[in-house]
């Protein structure tokens, strides 16, 4: 472990990410693997993760915004990169210049891409997104074929792929998934019938990759699974959670029964109690929703969070343990035979595991093992 500049850190095990990538690579057979590294690789560190997944079977990377792709290019990443999110007119030129593939669904952006390609004398690479039922980005499936034909005719544009995104692939009831899949299949079939060649068709996210192999097509887009987390707690292959979040006890205080704790006095001690102050709060990604609900691990023992989580500090009850200032505290990860997972946080926060790791802020140092 490198020397820390602050006593709050996230340990990211790149060997676990390599293992997860290899597991998914074996599952998908001849399909390509697009590794989704948006949002700083779901909080794990985009550059470090990108190097790891590319060395272990991924052939594409996906980001959400052009800036994320530019950072990877500046760091020397040469692999194909798709910008999954909306690209505005002012962002087109940097995408073409940095060889970032654009998610395309708007005629206006298509024209700007063609003009920019001519200006820069470079191909503008695009993946056309078809909305089959997510109701977010994408050309409606009923208008998709004509739009794809028109884009393919534009000079300077290279249509690398056509894709869709499933809205409910995590659901064990796959009725909506199948409905979306059939709509996308019709688009692909029509393109083939009309002789429109699309090099890469893709649809599967992590959940569909794990549970709906028919959707693997030419490529799958996997984010969550790379980091060792499962969609909706459902698993089909073994994966290893790659991130642990840790801190150290900053202060200890003995307080009498009836002592209010933290902002709003939402917790009052019911007996003489020893409290530990931790130097981590919601500015680091420890959500206020964990106030009076979650717990941490010290020496393998659960210690409940008491009172409101604050911006920079959190208080836990350690009255049942012999502890000292500087003792390690595990917020996500294992301590002894006990562990806390991102799924535990998600349950306490009434959210999803994706959000938990994405919330871990940039002021939390990442340590790679």
Pairing of strands 8-12, 243-248: antiparallel
Which helix (H) or strand (E) is 100 found in, with range? strand 100-104
Cα–Cα dist 259/247, whole Å: 25
Q: Any catalytic annotation for residue 230?
A: no
Burial of 43 (0-12, 13-18, 19+ CB in 10 A): buried
Q: Any catalytic annotation for residue 98?
A: no
DSSP code of 57? T
**Residue 238, CA distances (Å) to 16, 17, 26, 245, 284 in order:** 11, 12, 12, 22, 29
**Greatest C-alpha distance within the chain:** 79
- Please give the full DSSP string across 277-309, using - where no structure is assigned: EES--TTTT--GGGTTT-EEEETTEEEEB-S--
**Chain position carrying tokens 């900053």:** 250
Residue tagged active-site, from 119, 192, 253, 263? 263
Residue tagged active-site, from 38, 125, 129, 246? 38
**Residue 194, CA distances (Å) to 146, 153, 156, 282, 294 in order:** 11, 14, 22, 54, 57
Catalytic residue positions?
A: 38, 263
């Amino acid at each position: 472990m490198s020397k820390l500049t602050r006593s709050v850190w996230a340990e990211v095990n790149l060997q676990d990410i390599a293992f997860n990538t290899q597991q998914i690579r074996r599952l998908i057979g001849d399909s390509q693997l697009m590794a989704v590294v948006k949002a700083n690789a779901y909080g794990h560190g985009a550059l470090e993760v990108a190097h790891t997944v590319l060395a272990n079977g991924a052939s594409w990377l996906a980001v959400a915004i052009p800036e994320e792709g530019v950072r990877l290019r500046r760091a020397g990443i040469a692999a194909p990169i798709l910008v999954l999110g909306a690209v505005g007119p002012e962002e087109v030129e940097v995408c073409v210049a940095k060889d970032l593939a654009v998610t395309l669904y708007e005629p206006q952006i298509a024209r700007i891409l063609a003009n920019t390609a001519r200006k820069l004398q470079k191909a503008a690479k695009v993946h056309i997104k078809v909305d089959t039922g997510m109701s977010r980005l994408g050309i409606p499936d009923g208008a998709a074929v004509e739009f794809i034909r028109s884009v393919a005719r534009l000079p300077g544009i290279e249509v690398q792929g056509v894709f869709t995104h499933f809205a409910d692939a995590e659901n064990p009831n796959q009725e909506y998934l199948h409905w979306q899949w059939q709509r996308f299949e019709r688009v692909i079939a029509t393109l083939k019938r009309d002789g429109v060649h699309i090099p890469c068709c893709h649809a599967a996210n992590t959940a569909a990759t794990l549970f709906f192999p028919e959707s693997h097509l030419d490529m799958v887009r996997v984010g969550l699974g790379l980091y060792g987390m499962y969609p909706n707690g459902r698993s089909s292959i073994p994966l290893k959670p790659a991130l642990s979040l840790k801190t150290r006890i900053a202060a200890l205080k003995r307080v009498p029964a009836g002592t209010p704790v933290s902002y709003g006095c939402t917790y009052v001690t019911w007996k003489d109690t020893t409290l530990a102050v931790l130097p981590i709060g919601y500015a680091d990604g420890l959500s206020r929703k964990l106030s009076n609900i979650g717990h941490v691990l010290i020496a393998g023992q659960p210690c409940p969070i008491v009172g409101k989580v604050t911006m920079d500090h959190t208080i836990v009850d350690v009255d049942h343990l012999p502890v000292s200032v500087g003792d390690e505290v595990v917020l996500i990860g294992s301590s002894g035979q006990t562990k806390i997972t991102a799924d535990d946080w998600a349950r306490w926060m009434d959210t999803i595991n994706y959000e938990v790791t994405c919330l871990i802020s940039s002021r939390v140092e990442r340590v790679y093992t």
